[in-house]
C-alpha cells in the first residue's frame, strides 16, 4: 500500500511538493445530488430569491476557482475551465461539475468543491420551503492526467 502524500515522515501534515512533477493536462468531473420533495421542486420556478439552479451553477464555478482557500493543503491552480451542470429531476437536483488545467497537480478537489458548493447553494435557495432537503452522493466521477493516470467511477457516464 502506498503512503499518503500529505504527511511527512513523522506523520505531520504537509503540502505536497509538486515542483519536480511535469505540467500535464488534467481534468476532473464530480457529482452531487440534492434530494428535494416533489411539492418543493414544483415551487422552484417561482422562487422569490431567483433561479436557484443558475445561482448554484455560478456559485460552483466560483468555488472551484477558490478551492485552495478552502482546503488547507490544496495548491492554488490556474483553471483553464470550470463548469457546473445543474439539472432538475423528479427526485431533486443533479449536479455535475468539471474542472481542467495544465499543471503539476490534479483538479479533483476543484471539481468536488464545485459540486459541493453548488449543492449547498441549492439548499440555501430553497430552505425556506423545506428544511429536510438532503445533499447526497458527493463523489468523483472521473479524472484524467497525472502520474496516477486516469480514473473513471464504475457505472457512471
Convert the pLDDT of each residue in 50-93 to its tens digit. 889 999 999 999 999 999 999 998 999 999 999 999 999 999 99
State the Cα–Cα distance between residues 74 and 110, nearest whole angstrom: 9
Q: Where are the domains of the chain?
A: 24-144
Q: Quick check: is 124 catalytic?
A: yes
Q: What size, in residues, is the chain?
A: 157
- CATH superfamily label, 24-144: Molybdopterin cofactor biosynthesis C (MoaC) domain (3.30.70.640)
Query: Which residue of the set 124, 130, 137, 150 is catalytic?
Result: 124
> Residue 22 — pLDDT band, cuts 50, 70, 90?
confident
DSSP 3-state of 106: coil
State the Cα–Cα distance between residues 151 and 22, nearest whole angstrom: 19
Q: Model's pTM, two decimal places? A: 0.89
61 and 4 Cβ atoms separated by less than 8 Å: no
Q: 154: part of which helix (H) or strand (E)?
A: none
Q: What is the DSSP letter of 22?
A: P
pLDDT > 70 fraction of the chain, expressed in percent and rounded: 93
Q: Which residues make Cβ contacts (< 8 Å) with residue 98, sequence separation at least 6?
A: 27, 28, 29, 81, 82, 83, 84, 111
> Residue 3 — pLDDT band, cuts 50, 70, 90?
low
Amino acid at each position: 500500500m502506498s503512503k499518503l502524500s500529505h504527511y511527512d515522515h513523522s506523520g505531520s501534515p504537509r503540502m505536497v511538493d509538486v515542483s519536480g512533477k511535469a505540467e500535464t493536462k488534467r481534468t476532473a468531473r464530480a457529482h452531487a445530488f440534492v434530494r428535494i420533495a416533489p411539492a418543493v421542486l414544483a415551487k422552484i420556478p417561482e422562487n422569490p430569491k431567483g433561479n436557484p439552479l443558475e445561482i448554484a451553477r455560478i456559485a460552483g464555478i466560483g468555488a472551484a476557482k477558490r478551492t485552495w482557500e478552502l482546503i488547507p493543503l490544496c495548491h492554488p491552480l490556474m483553471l483553464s475551465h470550470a463548469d457546473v451542470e445543474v439539472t432538475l429531476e423528479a427526485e431533486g437536483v443533479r449536479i455535475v461539475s468539471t474542472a481542467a488545467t495544465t499543471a503539476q497537480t490534479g483538479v479533483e478537489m476543484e471539481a468536488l468543491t464545485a459540486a459541493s458548493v453548488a449543492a449547498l447553494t441549492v439548499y440555501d435557495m430553497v430552505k425556506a420551503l423545506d428544511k429536510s432537503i438532503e445533499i447526497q452522493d458527493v463523489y468523483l466521477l472521473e479524472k484524467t492526467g497525472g502520474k496516477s493516470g486516469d480514473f473513471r467511477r464504475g457505472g457512471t457516464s
